[in-house]
Structure 1
Amino acid sequence: MIKYADSLKSITAKEFCEGVGLEPGFDNEFSKMRNLTHRLKAAGLNTDLL
C-alpha cells in the first residue's frame, strides 16, 4: 500500500479487498496504511525509493 498509494487513491478499501480476494475485515488495515502513507510522505518519505 505504501509504495503504490498514489495509484490506489481512487479505490476504496472495500473495493481493494474484494479485488484481491481479502476478507472484508482487511479493509480497515488498508485504510490505516493509506492514512499512514500520508503522514510518512509529509515527513519526507520518497515512495519511489521503496
Structure 2
Amino acid sequence: MSRTIPFPVHQIALASVFLALAAMLGGCNTVEGMGQDVQSGGRAIERTAQ
C-alpha cells in the first residue's frame, strides 16, 4: 500500500528555507545599521568629553 501526500512537501520545504535565508540576510543589514548608529553616538560622546 503506497502512501501519497496530497500537497508538495518538497516545494514547501524549499520555499521555507528560502524565506528563512531572506529573513536572516535582512536582519544582518538591520543589525549592521544599528551598530553604526551606536558607534557614531560613541564618537559624539568622546568628542564632548575631550
TM-score bracket, shorter-length normalisation:
0.3 to 0.5
Higher relative contact order (CA 8 A, sep 6+): 1
TM (normalized to structure 1)?
A: 0.40
Question: Which structure shows the bigger proportion of residues in helix conformation?
Answer: 2
